[in-house]
Amino acid sequence: MARRTRSSRKKRGSGCFGLLVAALFVVVLAGGAGAAWLVLTPCGPETETFVTLTPGSSTARMGEALESAGIIRSRYAFDLVRLWKRGTLKAGEYRFDHRAPVTEVYNRIARGDVFTLSVTIPEGANMFEAAVKLEQAGLDGGQDFVDAVTNHRELVADLDPGAKDLEGYLFPDTYHFARRASATQIAGTMVRRFRAIAGQLGLTQVGLRGNLHNVVTLASLVERETAVDAERPLVASVFANRLSKKMPLMTDPSVIYGLELEGRWRGTIYASDLKRDTPYNTYLHAGLPPGPIANPGMKSLRAAMEPAASDFLYFVAAGANPQGHSIFSRTLAEQSKAVAGYRHSVKKAGGR
């Protein structure tokens, strides 16, 4: 009888252990299923929601921010994916507009798929025009940008100690900025792009550094006078030839820029504007204007560095010619004939 009792106890003990193992298995299975549900089941907003993950944030802090914003169900699920993937997470502002599993959210942050606004600053745009483009793109433009360009000339002081502002050094390109980027940050990014391009062109080399101000100023005039790439070196040569002969440049875009700075630009240039004495009136003042009147692209910068070899002293700008190209002249008589031809073409085309 005693043997039977021991055997019975042994069997009952084995049964309890088995039940315990089974219970643990069920718990683990349930936990795994729960974790899988938290990680793989889509969650999040169905309308646009922004979350900013600040630089230096830990995975836990990022998880908390995402959970608080309703992007994920659990910060712990985010931590779990981090342990599994072992990627590097990138700070920034993220935009969420649909339900997604934690794995998708994690992958976006690991890729650095931050939300940005795109803006294209065209070649030849000045700071006022760039400010409008930025504002239209939903960025910090308008007067804030003009103020940043005007007040932060220290950003180019090493390149151009004589720069009065950043005009000319805001390289025209397509940019992607964070939604909350400040006007100063935007201007700084554009200046860094200019530095990169200037380096490629050799514009920042010791031999040209002292002339960089003049090169960029000349390039800005070229940029505003023609949009035809093949003509840029010739336009630069006209200005270079007139400068060498101490002839006034007599370029309307410079006059217009002087009026813009004074808030007097009326959208159309009048004869009275050509007589208004501003530092940028190249009809009244010989030499280059005090600084760039716009932000030139690479081709205009190259043309200003290496003007074509010519003896042209005049031209009718491409933008004013119905045929779409500039007319270059060596003498005033040739120029007068070209102007008369231009006026005839305009009249024939239905203009005034």
Q: Which three-class secondary structure string do you get for 256-301?
A: HHHHHHCCCCCCCCCHHHHCCCCCCCCCCCCCCCCCCCCCCCHHHH
Lookup: tokens for 159: 């390149």
Lookup: tokens for 239: 């200005």
Residue bearing tokens 């959208």:
267
pLDDT value at position 272? Answer: 96
- pTM confidence score: 0.81
pLDDT value at position 25? Answer: 44
* Separation between Cα atoms, residue 170 and residue 310, nearest integer Å: 30
User: CA-CA distances (angstroms) from residue 335 to 57, 170, 247?
Assistant: 66, 34, 15
pLDDT value at position 27? Answer: 43
Instruction: Determine contact, residues 323/345, Cβ cutoff 8 Å.
Output: yes
Per 3-state DSSP, the chain is made up of helix, strand and coil in percentages (nearest 5) of 55, 10, 40
Which residue type is seen at 36? Answer: A
List, for the chain, all residue ranges whose pLDDT scores fall below the cut of 50. 1-2, 4-5, 7-8, 19-34, 322
pLDDT value at position 350? Answer: 58
CA count, 13 A, side-chain hemisphere, 122:
9
pLDDT value at position 163? Answer: 94
| Residue 109: burial class (beta carbons within 10 Å; 0-12, 13-18, 19+) | buried
CA dihedral angle for residue 188, residue 191, residue 195, residue 201, rounded to 10 degrees = 160
Which are the contacts of 60, defined by CB distance < 8 A and separation ≥ 6? 75, 79
* Separation between Cα atoms, residue 191 and residue 171, nearest integer Å: 6
| In the chain, ranges of CATH 3.30.1490.480 domains | 49-111
Instruction: Name the CATH code of domain 49-111 (choices 2.102.10.10, 1.25.40.390, 3.30.1490.480, 3.30.390.30).
Output: 3.30.1490.480
Lookup: tokens for 265: 């630009």
Instruction: Determine contact, residues 77/83, Cβ cutoff 8 Å.
Output: no
CB neighbours (10 Å) of residue 102?
28
Instruction: Determine contact, residues 144/183, Cβ cutoff 8 Å.
Output: yes
* Separation between Cα atoms, residue 180 and residue 14, nearest integer Å: 66
pLDDT value at position 344? Answer: 65
CB neighbours (10 Å) of residue 320?
16
Residue 24, classed as helix, strand or coil, is: helix
Instruction: Determine contact, residues 164/156, Cβ cutoff 8 Å.
Output: no
Identify any residues that bridge with 53 across adjacent strands, giving them in sequence order: 92
Lookup: tokens for 328: 């270059």
* Separation between Cα atoms, residue 224 and residue 218, nearest integer Å: 10
| Residue 348: burial class (beta carbons within 10 Å; 0-12, 13-18, 19+) | exposed
pLDDT value at position 170? Answer: 98
CB neighbours (10 Å) of residue 324?
9
Residue 234, classed as helix, strand or coil, is: helix
Element (H, E) at 213: helix 212-225
Write down the mean pLDDT value for the chain.
87
pLDDT value at position 225? Answer: 94
